[in-house]
Structure 1
């Protein structure tokens, strides 16, 4: 069953209506970023900062920053994954130590306090490694009183995005905008109240959702590709 959309999504969520519930929209992440750059045209040559969420969000964020002539940085976050399934996450950790946990999932999976502690520590170590690798000696951009545009390649549950939002709020962002090529409607409605604006080209409902279905060319982005993209903006 596909959830029905209103003619205009409620509140601060902006999409492309003709792309709702469609799959195979984007050639690749670069193409998705170009589509989002058109949706974000009002931010061109402003003091906004584009933050890509590695790894997959950075190839989307790069063409947005290039087209809009904005600074590009990274918001390093990591899923906290199940001990027996490293693809499934029950929470996320941000670069500043901010943690978000899915308490319902923790209860359903029977995770112990020790499981959560070990999972959080593992995610934190990954963040420290990535933060150093991607940023090298580059200082974190001063966010105070500046808009921050958080970009990922899609939103399935919203936990990764929410932890990144909270971290950037703590860093002093004046305004937070979320920009993603594709997302599940339920996840967007969890994220939207926490930010000022949400831009999503391809909003989908229904029971089954996979970010990859929005793309023709989908692959796992490695850390080396992320580092190469960021170096071009230094």
Structure 2
């Protein structure tokens, strides 16, 4: 019988934070991939006494199978395309361009929705811990790392509660470190490893970002 690894994203974030103790310092910022990565990243930021922000990323889904990623985009024009999936799914250039245009508009909308008029946190010269609730294909995380590189952080640490076995190889030379609580060989989806994997709402994202922003930097203890 299959047993899940985490009760929910809160527990996953707390366990991930323990794995990240050696990566955090006084100049660390935690960036979450919304929406599901935000509750995980909130726990990490609180435990490590780090600032929290979001890095919106949009998956580029195959037109006939939207859940199958053929790539992803992130702010600043960063793009990751899985050419193998594009060819295997027989995606035409016109289809790809249509998906790209839609997701670019959605990316801009979500940046405004989550952050409002506030500018993103400065990451230049800092250690950035990039957090999601898990990784399947890795397309979104690849786009996120490419987006961050253009902002010149000192280090990029990809941090996940769960990822497929061997996933770190895809980030060799891309990120500076890859940390996962678990990398099971039997991996069908991120959700299979959680008891509670309900969708994170936009409201929850905004509330957690506001809570993190209101917490004095350098404070200790739980929020």
What's the TM-score once normalised by structure 2's chain length? 0.91
Map 1:1-234 to 2 at 5 A. Answer: 23-206=3-186, 208-234=187-213
Structure 1 residues 35-74: Cα deviation after superposition (integer angstroms, max 9, x where no partner): 0111111345521110000011011000110111100011
185-194 or 150-159, which moves further after superposition? Answer: 185-194
CA distance in 2, matches of 1:215, 1:192: 27
Q: Is the 8 A contact 1:57 1:153 kept in 2?
A: yes
State how far apart, in whole Å, the 2-side matches of 1:164 and 1:149 are.
11
Deviation at 1:229, TM superposition (A): 1.1
Which runs of structure 1 show a deviation greater than 3 angstroms over 4 or more consecutive aligned residues?
none
RMSD: 1.4
Question: In 2, distance between residues paired with 1:126 and 1:89?
Answer: 16
Unaligned residue ranges in structure 2 (runs of 5+): 214-223
CA–CA separation in structure 1 for the residues paired with 2:73 and 2:144: 8
Residue by residue, what CA displacement relative to the aligned partner does 1:126-156 show, whole Å, maximum 9, x if unpaired?
1101100111111111111111100000111
Moved more, 43-52 or 130-139: 43-52
Separation of aligned partners in 2, 1:43 and 1:179: 10
Go from structure 1 to structure 2 and tell me whether the alpha carbon gap of 1:104 and 1:44 turns closer, same or farther (over 3 Å shift). closer
